[in-house]
């Protein structure tokens, strides 16, 4: 929940080009510098649908979806950190 609030606040504070008013669905969302945060709601949606299909009873879905959502986020963060370290090491080696 805290993550979602953080994402919403970041998106709300994203810079908007004042010269042209944003037209939803016509123009892309002006979040050029925060695109990676858009993966978070997608992961949440995937977790909910996946667990709704997988779970025997719908009562289990919120807890199971929250667990898998956390696991996906943790996995993606871990992969990002590993790749960042790898890039830094390769930059130093050159």
Partner 1 sequence: MPPPPLVALVGWLVPGAGYVMIGQRARGAVVGITILLIFVAGLLIGGVRVIDSSYIESVQQRQEREHTEADAQRDARRMNRAYVPPNPIARTLQKPWFIGQALAGPVAIAANVVATRWGGENGAPFSHARVYEIGVLYTAVAGMLNLMAIIDSAYRASNEGDR
> What is the distance between the alpha carbons of residues 16 and 11, in angstroms, rounded to a whole number?
10
> What is the distance between the alpha carbons of residues 59 and 62, in angstroms, rounded to a whole number?
7
Binding-site string for partner 1 from residue 16 to residue 35, where x marks contact by CB under 8 A and - marks none: --------xxxxxx-xx--x
Q: Toward partner 1, which CB reaches closer, 20 or 94?
A: 20
Q: Toward partner 1, which CB reaches closer, 9 or 24?
A: 24
Q: What is the DSSP letter of 14?
A: S
Closest by CA to 45, choosing from 34, 61, 25, is: 61
Residues 33-92 that bind partner 1 (CB under 8 A): 35, 38-39, 41-42, 45-46, 48-50, 52-53, 56, 58, 61
Range list of H helices, the chain: 2-12, 39-54, 61-93
Smallest separation (angstroms) from partner 1 to the CB of 49 = 5
- The contact set with partner 1 (CB under 8 A) reads 24-29, 31-32, 35, 38-39, 41-42, 45-46, 48-50, 52-53, 56, 58, 61
């Amino acid at each position: 929940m805290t993550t979602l609030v953080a994402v919403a606040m970041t998106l709300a504070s994203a810079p908007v080009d004042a010269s042209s008013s944003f037209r939803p669905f016509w123009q892309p969302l002006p979040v050029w510098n925060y695109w990676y945060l858009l993966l978070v709601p997608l992961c949440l949606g995937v977790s909910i649908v996946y667990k709704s299909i997988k779970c025997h009873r719908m009562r289990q879905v919120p807890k199971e979806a929250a667990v898998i959502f956390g696991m996906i986020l943790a996995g993606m963060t871990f992969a990002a950190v590993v790749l960042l370290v790898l890039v830094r090491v390769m930059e130093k080696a050159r």
